[in-house]
Structure 1
Amino acid sequence: MVSKLSILKTYYHLPLEDQFSFTYEDEHYYLTNKPFPLYYQKYISLLQINPFKIINNIYQQKNSQGYILYQVQSIPLDIQKIISLSLIPQETKTIKEIKKEWIQYYESILIYTPLNSLEYQIIYYSLFTLCQLSIELLNHYFLSTTAINLSYQHKNIHSYEDVYLIENINLNLYIHDVFYLYLNNTITINQLEQIINEYNLTSKDLQILLCYALFPQMCLVHFHEDSLTKKRRRLVKYNKKLYSLILLLQKYIQIPPLKWIK
């Protein structure tokens, strides 16, 4: 069976790894002999764009022993459309399932973490407390059988390219993109409030947004690779964004006292 590595070397003169996607000279590519996944085709169809250009091989042919090389194109970021699509339900997950996943996630990162200094302990227990609080609020607002919508979301959104990368799209809680666009300063707190009103987000929507925001995944995902200084800065930044979000959500839903977050 011919390998992707062989195809890249023979037909494109690209000495790259044998993998589905790769970056070469700051451009992102997909090499595949199969159609794109159905969930991805559906998402691109909903966006009503074609973010790919087929690259001819050195023989000026599109097909290389059944493989086609696609290059991701520079398409302007339509934040409104991304947000709109992110709120369209595709599947559901129960609160019980969400709690189980969150608990397993933070335990896998924090439980066996050595505490080397007092400041390290403070950061550790701050994150642990946020995790616990997010679970407690899920219990406070919802029944374990309550169904929460999932939709097409992005692991990261920092540039136009992030929107169209297949490996960056998954099914997640429908408020994920809205929260992360706010968290990475793509939208402001005022724009977030406009989204709340424009899309008529319900109390249930805002309650799950709060619970999701309290779960400090952005800090946890970098926890072991960050230096102590980065851990502290990341947590301080996170808490500031969280505090502003809580002040906003208090206008729409009842929130138990969270005065320690500042």
Structure 2
Amino acid sequence: MVSKLNILQNYYHIPLEDQFTFTYDSHKYYLTNKPFPFYFQKYISLLQINPFKIIDNIYQQKQSQGFILYQLLNIPTDIQKIISISLIPLEAKTINDIKKEWIQYYESILIYTSLNSLEYQIIYYTLFTLCQLSIELLNHYFSSSTTIPCSLQHQTIQSIEDIYKIENIILDLTVHDLLNLYLNDFITLQQLEHIFNENNLTSKELQLLLCYALFPKTCLLYYHKDNLIQKRKRLMKYNKKLSSLILLLQKYIQIPLFNWIK
């Protein structure tokens, strides 16, 4: 079996570890002997751009024992285009499926968490309550058989570099990217409202956005990596952004009076 490490060293004179993607000399690279994942191909097709160029090896050949080295180009990021693509439905899932996924997700992270201090307990129960509330709100707005559209989304958007990560394109709820762009400060609350109006988002979509926003996935995603200080900061930022979003959504949809929504 050919090692990616050997390919990089022997054909490109790049002394790096064997990785899926990597950075070398300030450029992002991707070495593979397989086609791009289907969702990524579809995403690039919708963007109508090619974010990569093929790098010739030291023998001026495109392939090295079946492997191709791609370099990520510096392409201006069009946030509006990303949002437009994220709102194009491709498939659908039921509310019942969504509830099962959310419950399995938060239980897999929180159920075996050690609570060795009062502050850990506060953070834990805050996240757990938000998870429960998001499920309760799904039940309030939708029946279990209601179908919800899914589209091409980014698993995470922490930086501009995440936009074109090959392994980062997934199929998820159409509001996924919209929420993450807001939570991670790529768009402001005012821009978010403009997107609501410009794209004529329906009450159903905004209700789903609220449910998804209450599900604290951005905090859960890094729960086991963050130390206590990082957990606290992440949760404080999330709560602040969530409160502002709820105030905005109250202009468009009716929100029931829960203890956490005032």
TM range (shorter): over 0.9
Cross-structure match for 2:139:
139
Cross-structure match for 1:250:
250
Cross-structure match for 1:107:
107
Cross-structure match for 1:216:
216
Cross-structure match for 2:91:
91
Supply the AA of the counterpart residue of 1:260: W
Supply the AA of the counterpart residue of 2:214: L
For the residue of structure 2 that corresponds to 1:114, the secondary structure is coil
Cross-structure match for 2:13:
13
Moved more, 123-132 or 227-236: 227-236
Cross-structure match for 2:207:
207
Supply the AA of the counterpart residue of 2:77: L
Q: Cα offset for 1:189?
A: 0.5
Cross-structure match for 1:225:
225
Cα distance in structure 1, aligned partners of 2:38 and 2:135: 33
**Change in CA separation of 1:220 and 1:111 when aligned onto 2, cut-off 3 Å:** same
Cross-structure match for 2:48:
48
Supply the AA of the counterpart residue of 1:234: R
Contact 2:37 2:167 in 1 (8 A): no
**Change in CA separation of 1:147 and 1:260 when aligned onto 2, cut-off 3 Å:** closer
1:181-210 deviations in whole A, cap 9, x for unaligned? 100111110100000000000010001100
Show structure 1 runs of 4+ deviating over 4 A: none
Cα distance in structure 2, aligned partners of 1:2 and 1:232: 45
For the residue of structure 1 that corresponds to 2:83, the secondary structure is helix
Supply the AA of the counterpart residue of 2:54: I
Cross-structure match for 1:123:
123
1:83-138 deviations in whole A, cap 9, x for unaligned? 00000011111111111111111111111112112222111111100000000001
Q: Cα offset for 1:261?
A: 5.3
Supply the AA of the counterpart residue of 1:252: Y
Cα distance in structure 2, aligned partners of 1:162 and 1:21: 12
What is the root-mean-square deviation of aligned Cα atoms in Å?
A: 1.5
Cα distance in structure 2, aligned partners of 1:196 and 1:112: 39
Cα distance in structure 2, aligned partners of 1:60 and 1:149: 46
Cross-structure match for 1:60:
60
Moved more, 42-51 or 115-124: 115-124
Q: Structure 1: which 5+ residue stretches go unaligned?
A: none
**Change in CA separation of 1:115 and 1:160 when aligned onto 2, cut-off 3 Å:** closer
Contact 1:30 1:69 in 2 (8 A): yes
Q: Cα offset for 1:30?
A: 1.4
Cα distance in structure 1, aligned partners of 2:38 and 2:81: 20
Cα distance in structure 2, aligned partners of 1:114 and 1:160: 34
Cross-structure match for 1:189:
189
Tell me the TM-score normalized by structure 2: 0.95
Contact 2:153 2:171 in 1 (8 A): yes
Moved more, 102-111 or 9-18: 9-18
Q: Cα offset for 1:43?
A: 1.1
Q: Cα offset for 1:67?
A: 1.7
Cα distance in structure 1, aligned partners of 2:153 and 2:232: 28
**Change in CA separation of 1:230 and 1:201 when aligned onto 2, cut-off 3 Å:** same
Contact 1:74 1:160 in 2 (8 A): no
Contact 1:150 1:172 in 2 (8 A): yes
Supply the AA of the counterpart residue of 1:146: T
Q: Cα offset for 1:259?
A: 5.3
Q: Cα offset for 1:171?
A: 0.6
Q: Cα offset for 1:258?
A: 4.0
